[in-house]
Amino acid sequence: MKSAYSVLKRPLVSEKTAALAEANKYVFEVYPNADKPEIAKAVADTFKVTVERVHVVNTKGKVKQSRTKRGAVIKAPDVKKAIVTLKKGDKIELI
């Protein structure tokens, strides 16, 4: 198995993910080659919690017109996110 540092990039913290945290779900940005069992093991080992379920979301980066370079198109990078559901009673302190 891979180390947790080669699976998890960073936790995603926003208003929407804070609302999910109340339902015992946490969102992480992960590397594109990570799969569900690797993500579950990495979160369990890193934060000492029990993972019940992992959902993976692949989002495409937005394409925008450049404001400084006339006619240039800029594309944001694609992002892979993992929504991890923890066992009832487990908690992760991100802030």
| Binned average pLDDT, 10 residues per bin, the chain of 95 residues | 87 94 95 95 95 97 88 92 96 83
Strand-pair category, 8-11 with 73-75: unpaired
pTM for this one? 0.87
| Per-residue model confidence (pLDDT) at position 95 | 65
Closest CA to 37 of 56, 23, 20, 24: 56
Return d(Cα 62, Cα 73) in angstroms, integer.
Answer: 10
* Token output for 89: 């009673």
